[in-house]
Amino acid sequence: MTKTVFLPSKIIPELFVPQLFLFFFCVCVSQALPLEHTKNYIKVSLIISPTEDMSTIYCYSTMPPSRQYSHSTMPLLPVSPYSGPSDFCTENNISECMLYISQELSSLGLPSIFYDLNGIRELDVTSALNGMYDLLQLQRRTMGMVEELEVEQLKVSSDLHCQQLSSSKLKDQLELSKKENIRLRERERQLEINVKSLQSCLKNEKEEVQKLQNIIASRATQYNHDMKRKEREFNKLKERLNQLLADRKDKKQGMDVLNYVGRSDGRRSQWKTVKTDARHESEMYKTLLNEFDKHQKELMLENAELRKVLQQMKREMVGILSPKKHSQKEEKCTEFTDQVSFFDENIHIRKSVFNEESSEMSCEHAREKLTNSIRQQWRKLKHHVENLDNKASMVQLGREVGEEMISKDVHQDEMERLKVEIQQCKDFIQTQQQLLQQQLNTPCDEETAAVLNDCYMLEEKERLKEEWKTFEEQRKNFEMERRSFTEAAIRLGHERKMFEEDRATWLKHQFLNMTFTEHMAIKTQNALSDCK
Amino acid sequence: MLNNEYGKDDTFFFIYQQDICKDKQCFGMNFSEVFKQSNQLCKISPDGKYLATCVQYRLVVRDVNTLQILQLFTCLDQVAHMEWSSDSLFILCAMYKRGLVQVWSLEQPEWHCKIDEGSIGLVSSRWSPDGRHILNTTEFHLRVTVWSLCNKSVSYIKYPKACQKGMDFSADGRYMALVERRDCKDFISIFVCDDWHLLRHFETETQDLSGVEWSPNGCVLAAWDSCLEYKMLLYSLDGRLLSTYSAYEWSLGIKSVAWSPSSQFLAIGSYDEKVRILNHITWKKLIEFEHPATITSSKAVVYKEVEKKPVIGTEDLSVHQIAMGSSLFNTKSNYEITSLPVQVPVVKPDTDRANPKIGISAIAFSADNRYLATKNDNMPQSLWVWDMQRLGLQAVLEQTAPVRCFVWDPCRPRLALCTGNNKIYMWSPAGCISVKVQVEGSFQVQSIMWHGSGDSLVLLGKDQLCLCYLATDEEK
């Protein structure tokens, strides 16, 4: 957008002010244009007015777009009040200048600077000065805006710079990671190839092993076949040899003995008959059966031993797992039925059954139950021990970490102490139980029972008596106190009556000694006080 | 040091407490004079009274305690095999080259008996358990001839098999198991020794049956295949197959087998250097004993024989050394207990040859069932003793030379072994000792035999023998 500004070519001193003023105006006007309109360029043409020279000096300023936003951009038009003579306004064209300026001002929304007097335009100084003032304000505001904008622009440009740097950094990083990624992919690929090749090697080896085994098998069959063939041939040879030797009679085979010796067991030899055969068979079977019997006996003994061991183990496991409720005498356990261990009732029954030492019980059911129960208890014991181990290890870990844990010695001492305490308590409980047992079981005769009862009763009675005594005492005390309180109350009543009487007399006295009005006053006062 | 001399004929050297390693178990060892023998033929009679030796073609019978010669018999040729009859009345001498067997009687020295197998040849000859029959195996294993000394009867058993252990008698002497092979198939025949009645005859599921052995209680027969296949079959006395056991396939299999005296365990030693113990109830593997090159088992005690060669020209010559004579070659040895872990010396076998020297070649149970001694062929200098109660390794004896022979005392848990040098070694749970054989001249112990009472040992050298009397604490 081009804005033509008329400037005077030379400065006429007497019109200096208006000329300058006008020039200044123009500058302000041009400056006051919002910058958005001059995004592309500002073209300012200075046209000299058509006066003496009639020359027009065109001064264009084309600002490159980038330079627009540079804070070092100096407005081309001088802002200083006195930079050069303005040739916008001369003596002759004052009214046109005024008109022009008014038009410009009106376009900006300011009142005109002149007023019309019979066709002559007269400069209205006030409005002109007002207009100038307004323009100056406008100028200042715009300058402020410009500054702000410049600052913002700086900020933005620095931000941009930062962003550019970071983006370049990120780009570099991206490059690096892409390269890394490629490298790793490459490696993975190579390893996969490696794995594949090894797998194929393995497969080949396996195939080879299989092949070799097949070869071995086939060779073995071949050798067997050959061996058999040779053996048959050998047998034939042997037969032939045997035949030849039998036919040949040169060397006689025989035994030459002085006399026959008796049998080692002294008995005569017997003919071979069916009976002897049967006897041999039976003897053989007898031997076998004896052996089986012996074997079975041994196994039974072993079985019994193992059963005993299992039972003992079970008992001990039960003992370990339930120490509080475990009574040391096994027999009592069955009698105290209220002492229920935390296993089911069946175990009691089984215990009592096995306590009878029924080692002959070999039925499957009982055997299974025994083994199952042992397995169960063993599992529980295992859990228990594992828990203890965990706790111990945790305590150990804790000790390593902090000093809050108590030392091992102290811990052990405490444990000992606790154990001793437990033992004492157990003993105490046992004695109590014994006593209770005695009491329940010992058939005491009536006398002693009565005496015993009496003893207990006496004790109770004594205690009760004592309590009564104390109670009586307390009651007496209460009575006394109450009496004293009543007396006190009565006394208090008396005193109050006395006090009332006194008051009454005093009042009468007063009344008799006073005038009416006073009396009335007093009366009203009294009434008031009464009311209160 | 006592140095006693008894009698004129027999001289003893009394040695007291030689080189005891671990414990203060003291027992004296008397060594007898050295006698000649040939072919390692020297046997103590079953009743323990007599000692029979063969010297070339002569049979010499001595009293065990006095070593006096009681009888002297002359055979027709060099004796290849000599055996006492079970009642200690007769002695069998077999001469395989001539195919002859001669039987001698102790009661009646003039009694004689000669069995001539003729052209059919003879490869093996043995007594039957009743001491009245002789079983001769002909050449090429054509047949087994049963000769009776009681009557004129002769029995023939056809198709015996030529294998590692083709014939076995039960402990009570009533039954005999024989391995037969017909038409390329293996059979086992069970005979009643009383009258050689064939009790049972059955085929076995084996490729090449290698041996049979009765359990000590006489009710179970163990039969095993050749080393090409690991297979152990267990048969009852009446011929029923009780169980089959096979540890693995393809590799070389069973090398040695031993029953425990109570018949509770069957120990199988195999080429994979392991001993597997089967139990008599289920006939399944109870445990596997490994023979690793590095011993780390913490309960085992490793005894290492350490030889000390004396320094020549020592000033301090003790009486003992002077009496012994040439102290130059007197290498003393004793046992040292080495701390675990221990490296056992291993000899790698030649893989190209057949019957490789690898695997468990010898197993023996002690008389009380408590211990088991094993020898691994590729660790030839070591002897392993296992505790059967604990089922773990008890001790390892590492010798300076390969172990040649080891035998348990028939009465106590005591093991005697020799390595071909002039010492005998004994192990007991209390400890280990190494004793030099105190005889004139050099004596290389090649084989050991216990007397039935466990009080004396017969030591056999190359062509010498000597007796070792072990005095117990009570006797001293």
Residue of A nearest to B281 (CA): A295
Q: In chain B, which residues have pLDDT < 50?
A: 1-26, 314, 318-328, 474-476
> Which chain B residues contact residue A263 at CB under 8 A?
130, 132, 150
> Which chain A residues contact residue B227 at CB under 8 A?
none
Q: Are B198 and A273 spatial neighbours (Cβ–Cβ below 8 Å)?
A: no
Q: Do A277 and B147 touch (CB under 8 A)?
A: no
Interface test with B, best of A244, A249, A261, A296 (most B CBs within 10 A): A261
DSSP-derived pairing of the beta strands B405-408 and B392-398: unpaired
A157 Cα distance to chain centroid:
47
- Closest partner CB to A287 (pick from B131, B150, B219): B219
Contacts for A60 with CB less than 8 Å, ≥ 6 apart? A43, A44, A45
Q: Do B118 and A270 touch (CB under 8 A)?
A: no
**DSSP H or E stretch at residue B292:** none
**Which of residues 190 through 219 in chain B touch A, CB cutoff 8 A?**
192, 194-195, 197, 199, 207, 217-219
Q: How far apart are CA A386 and CA A374, in angstroms?
A: 18
Q: Are B83 and B92 spatial neighbours (Cβ–Cβ below 8 Å)?
A: yes
**Helix A16-32 × helix A125-247 angle, to 10°:** 30
- Closest partner CB to B192 (pick from A241, A248, A280): A280
Q: Which two tokens stand for residue B340?
A: 């675990």
Q: Does any CB of chain B come closer than 8 Å to the CB of residue A218?
A: no
- Residue whose C-alpha is closest to residue B344's, from B291, B394, B290: B291
Interface test with B, best of A255, A256, A291, A301 (most B CBs within 10 A): A255
Q: How far apart are CA A211 and CA A198, in angstroms?
A: 19
Residues, chain A, total?
Answer: 532
Q: Do B119 and A251 touch (CB under 8 A)?
A: yes
- Closest partner CB to B197 (pick from A224, A276, A299): A276
Q: Does any CB of chain B come closer than 8 Å to the CB of residue A212?
A: no
Q: Does any CB of chain B come closer than 8 Å to the CB of residue A241?
A: yes
Q: Do A256 and B192 touch (CB under 8 A)?
A: no
Residue of A nearest to B184 (CA): A228
- Closest partner CB to B217 (pick from A216, A238, A291): A291
Q: Do B116 and A276 touch (CB under 8 A)?
A: no
Collapse the DSSP code of A218 into the 3-class scheme (helix H, G, I; strand E, B; otherwise coil) and give the result.
Answer: helix
- Closest partner CB to B195 (pick from A232, A264, A272): A272
Q: How far apart are CA A336 and CA A434, in angstroms?
A: 12
Residue A187's pLDDT is 97
- Closest partner CB to B149 (pick from A213, A257, A276): A257
To the nearest 5 percent, what fractions of chain B are helix, strand and coil? 5, 50, 50
DSSP-derived pairing of the beta strands B133-137 and B124-127: antiparallel
CA distance A241 to chain B (A): 9
In chain B, list all ranges with CATH 2.130.10.10: 45-158
Interface test with A, best of B92, B111, B132, B250 (most A CBs within 10 A): B132
Q: Does any CB of chain B come closer than 8 Å to the CB of residue A280?
A: yes
Torsion of CA A424, A426, A427, A433, to 10 degrees: 150
- Residue whose C-alpha is closest to residue B221's, from B272, B269, B257, B183: B257
Matching residue, tokens 């309109």: A37
Q: Give the residues across from B134 on adjacent strands.
A: B127, B147
- Residue whose C-alpha is closest to residue A139's, from A103, A113, A110: A110
Contacts for B468 with CB less than 8 Å, ≥ 6 apart? B29, B30, B31, B32, B424, B437, B456, B457, B458, B459
ipTM: 0.76
Q: Does any CB of chain B come closer than 8 Å to the CB of residue A271?
A: no
> Which chain B residues contact residue A281 at CB under 8 A?
199
DSSP A91-157: STTHHHHHHHHHHHHHHHT---SEEEETTEEEE-HHHHHHHHHHHHHHHHHHHHHHHHHHHHHHHHH
Residue A23's pLDDT is 53
**Distance in angstroms between the alpha carbons of the first and the last residue of chain A:** 99
Q: Does any CB of chain A come closer than 8 Å to the CB of residue B16?
A: no
Superfamily of B45-158 according to CATH: YVTN repeat-like/Quinoprotein amine dehydrogenase (2.130.10.10)
Q: Give the residues across from B245 on adjacent strands.
A: B232
Q: Do B237 and A224 touch (CB under 8 A)?
A: no
Q: Do B151 and A284 touch (CB under 8 A)?
A: no
Q: Do A264 and B132 touch (CB under 8 A)?
A: yes
Residue A532's pLDDT is 55
Q: How far apart are CA B274 and CA B271, in angstroms?
A: 7
Q: Do B116 and A255 touch (CB under 8 A)?
A: yes
Interface test with B, best of A236, A263, A284 (most B CBs within 10 A): A284
Q: Does any CB of chain A come closer than 8 Å to the CB of residue B407?
A: no
Q: How far apart are CA A87 and CA A90, in angstroms?
A: 7
Q: Which two tokens stand for residue A406?
A: 């108590």
Residue A55's pLDDT is 38
- Residue whose C-alpha is closest to residue B136's, from B120, B125, B151, B148: B125
DSSP-derived pairing of the beta strands B392-398 and B301-308: parallel
**Distance in angstroms between the alpha carbons of the first and the last residue of chain B:** 15
Interface test with A, best of B135, B219, B283 (most A CBs within 10 A): B219
Residue B353's pLDDT is 80
Q: Where are the domains of chain A?
A: 17-149, 299-440+460-531
Show pLDDT as tens, one digit a residue, over chain A (532 residues): 444 444 444 444 444 445 555 555 555 555 554 444 444 444 444 444 444 443 333 334 444 444 444 444 444 444 455 556 677 777 778 778 878 888 888 888 877 767 776 666 677 788 888 888 888 999 999 999 999 999 999 999 999 999 999 999 999 999 999 999 999 999 999 999 999 999 999 999 999 999 999 888 888 888 888 888 898 888 888 888 888 877 776 566 777 877 777 776 767 767 777 888 888 999 999 999 999 999 999 999 999 999 899 888 888 888 877 765 444 444 443 433 333 343 444 444 455 444 444 444 556 777 788 788 888 888 888 888 888 898 888 888 776 655 555 567 788 888 999 999 999 999 999 999 888 888 877 665 666 667 777 777 888 889 999 999 999 999 999 999 999 999 999 999 999 999 999 999 999 999 888 766 676 776 777 777 666 5
Q: Do A253 and B117 touch (CB under 8 A)?
A: yes
Give B135's Cβ-side CA count (13 Å radius). 22
- Closest partner CB to B118 (pick from A241, A252, A288): A252
Q: Do B86 and A264 touch (CB under 8 A)?
A: yes
CA distance B444 to chain A (A): 39
**Which of residues 92 through 151 in chain B touch A, CB cutoff 8 A?**
103, 105, 110-120, 130-132, 140, 142-143, 147, 149-151
Classify burial at A169, counting beta carbons within 10 Å of its beta carbon; exposed 0-12, middle 13-18, buried 19 or more: exposed
Residue A384's pLDDT is 85
> Which chain A residues contact residue B199 at CB under 8 A?
280-281, 284
A16 Cα distance to chain centroid:
87
CA distance A176 to chain B (A): 55
> Which chain B residues contact residue A256 at CB under 8 A?
113-116
Interface test with A, best of B192, B193, B206 (most A CBs within 10 A): B192
**Which of residues 283 through 312 in chain A touch B, CB cutoff 8 A?**
283-285, 287-288, 291, 299
State the maximum Cα–Cα separation within chain A, in Å, rounded to a whole number: 199
Residue B104's pLDDT is 93
Q: Do B149 and A254 touch (CB under 8 A)?
A: no
Q: How far apart are CA A272 and CA B198, in angstroms?
A: 11
Q: Are A93 and A15 spatial neighbours (Cβ–Cβ below 8 Å)?
A: no
> Which chain A residues contact residue B174 at CB under 8 A?
283, 287
Residue A45's pLDDT is 43
Contacts for B439 with CB less than 8 Å, ≥ 6 apart? B13, B31, B33, B34, B466
Q: Do B184 and A288 touch (CB under 8 A)?
A: no
> Which chain A residues contact residue B113 at CB under 8 A?
255-258
Q: Does any CB of chain A come closer than 8 Å to the CB of residue B324?
A: no
CA distance B1 to chain A (A): 49
